[in-house]
Amino acid sequence: MNIVITGATGFVGQALCQYWHEQGHTLMVVSRQPDKAHATIGVPVMARAAAVDFVDQSVDAIVNLAGEPIFNRRWSEDQKKKLIASRLKATRDVGELCQRLEQPPKRLISGSAMGYYGDQGSREVTEQTPPHDEFAHRLCREWEEAAQQLATDQMQVACIRIGLVLDRDGGMLKPMRPMFRLGVGGRLGKGQQYMPWVHRHDLVRIIDFLLNHEEIQGAWNAGAPAPVTNAEFTRTLAASLNRPAPFVMPGRVVSLALGEMSQLLLTGARMLPARLEAAGFRFEYPTLEKALTTIEHRAA
Ligand SMILES: NC(=O)c1ccc[n+]([C@@H]2O[C@H](COP(=O)([O-])OP(=O)(O)OC[C@H]3O[C@@H](n4cnc5c(N)ncnc54)[C@H](OP(=O)(O)O)[C@@H]3O)[C@@H](O)[C@H]2O)c1
């Protein structure tokens, strides 16, 4: 297939491009630095600065992952605007491409996150669970709405509510592993908050599943079937490294240090991939222990 990918140079996009390159797909990537995209991604891709620049190509599907990193800097009002605006701009650019193509693609798989649900305490969260209103929810809602507006009779739009993506050398494990290796890791606050997670390889397989599944319209929870609390995550990560994790970072210290962004660490959702499982998707990494042990084994 001919697939346009925004955010292809990122942590998820790189793995997706490598997976699809091996399957023989033609990859057209959108990057703010198209000259560097090939080197970053590591497999042959056609790179251009905007999705609409691919209007001269035949496009079967689009994956839309681009956006300012959520955890880069404190959420000032300006930064919050940037987080939303970067995602809306990338999504509208994809919309312009779809409108201008003679034959629009059949499917768009667009990003979102577990933050869509906001703070849900310990209740189980499926795609049907009403969200809690907070900044992370508004960000994801606007991103999803912009993507869903592009759905037509010819093109289905799936929004993937991605959990914390785990793998080596990127995502949340990048800053955490060195600390835990030194034995100075620990839980955050009471540790009861849920952390939906997904192994990067399973996330790539989920996107591939949606590329090939017949009915994909709407929202899909893209997290492993066994989300864990922060305390459990801390214990399992420490065990995978054979280190203790004796410390506790009090919630008020995290709040003082990070401001509103601390919600991402101190609250969460016990998000379950209800729709994916009902559709027959099977996770290669269903438990955190298997995911982290494999990541450490490969790192050794
Ligand atoms: N990683 C996770 O744990 C996680 C969890 C939930 C949701 N997500 C979402 O899933 C998507 C992919 O995640 P990821 O970890 O692969 O992200 P990432 O590594 O931060 O990469 C995202 C890509 O977006 C582009 N980008 C960055 N800032 C931008 C800006 N201000 N304006 C336009 N484009 C910008 C960059 O591509 P160029 O520099 O080539 O333009 C970058 O490679 C993200 O939107 C993220 O919010 C990720």
Confidence (pLDDT) at 300: 67
Residue 254 in tokens: 């995290």
How many alpha carbons lie under 13 Å from residue 205 in its C-beta half-sphere?
Answer: 15
Architecture of the domain made up of 2-167+196-225+270-284: 3-Layer(aba) Sandwich (3.40)
Atom of ligand 1 nearest to the CA of 14: 16
Whether the per-residue pLDDT at 298 is higher than 80: the answer is no
Q: Structural domain boundaries of the chain?
A: 2-167+196-225+270-284
Read off the pLDDT of each residue in 75-93 and give the average, rounded to a whole number. Answer: 97
pLDDT digit string (tens) for 145-179?
A: 999 999 999 999 999 999 999 999 899 999 999 99
Confidence (pLDDT) at 169: 86
pLDDT digit string (tens) for 51-74?
A: 999 999 999 999 999 999 999 899
pLDDT digit string (tens) for 38-54?
A: 999 999 999 999 999 99
User: Which residues lie closer than 8 Å to 200 by C-beta, 6 or more apart?
Assistant: 11, 12, 15, 165, 166, 167, 170, 171
pLDDT band at 193 (very low <50, low <70, confident <90, very high): very high
Using CB distances shorter than 6 Å, the residues near ligand 1 are: 7, 9-13, 31-33, 65-70, 86, 90, 111, 113, 162, 164-165, 171-172
Mean per-residue pLDDT over the chain, rounded = 96
Cα dihedral 113, 114, 117, 121, rounded to 10, equals: -160
User: 3-state class of 279 per DSSP?
Assistant: coil
**Proportion of the chain above pLDDT 70, given as a percent:** 99
Confidence (pLDDT) at 72: 84
Residue owning the nearest CA to atom 12 of ligand 1: 65
Q: Where are the beta strands (DSSP E) in 98-230?
A: 107-113, 124-125, 156-162, 164-166, 186-188, 194-195, 197-199, 218-222, 228-229
Distance (angstroms) between ligand 1 centre and the Cα of 283 equals 23
pLDDT band at 299 (very low <50, low <70, confident <90, very high): low
Q: Which amino acid is at 98?
A: C
pLDDT digit string (tens) for 15-26?
A: 999 999 999 999
Confidence (pLDDT) at 262: 93
Please provide the DSSP assignment of 166-179 as one string.
E-TTSTTHHHHHHH
Measured CA distances, 256 to 38, 128, 193, 253 (Å): 40, 33, 18, 5
**Are 43 and 8 spatial neighbours (Cβ–Cβ below 8 Å)?**
no
Residue owning the nearest CA to atom 20 of ligand 1: 69
Distance (angstroms) between ligand 1 centre and the Cα of 257 equals 23
Atom of ligand 1 nearest to the CA of 8: 43
Read off the pLDDT of each residue in 90-97 and give the average, rounded to a whole number. Answer: 98
Confidence (pLDDT) at 269: 98
pLDDT digit string (tens) for 116-126?
A: 999 999 999 99
Confidence (pLDDT) at 118: 97
Distance (angstroms) between ligand 1 centre and the Cα of 7 equals 6
Atom of ligand 1 nearest to the CA of 34: 40
pLDDT band at 96 (very low <50, low <70, confident <90, very high): very high
| Among 211, 194, 191, 159, CA closest to 272 | 194
Atom of ligand 1 nearest to the CA of 69: 20
Please provide the DSSP assignment of 76-101 as one string.
-HHHHHHHHHHHHHHHHHHHHHHHHS
How many alpha carbons lie under 13 Å from residue 98 in its C-beta half-sphere?
Answer: 26
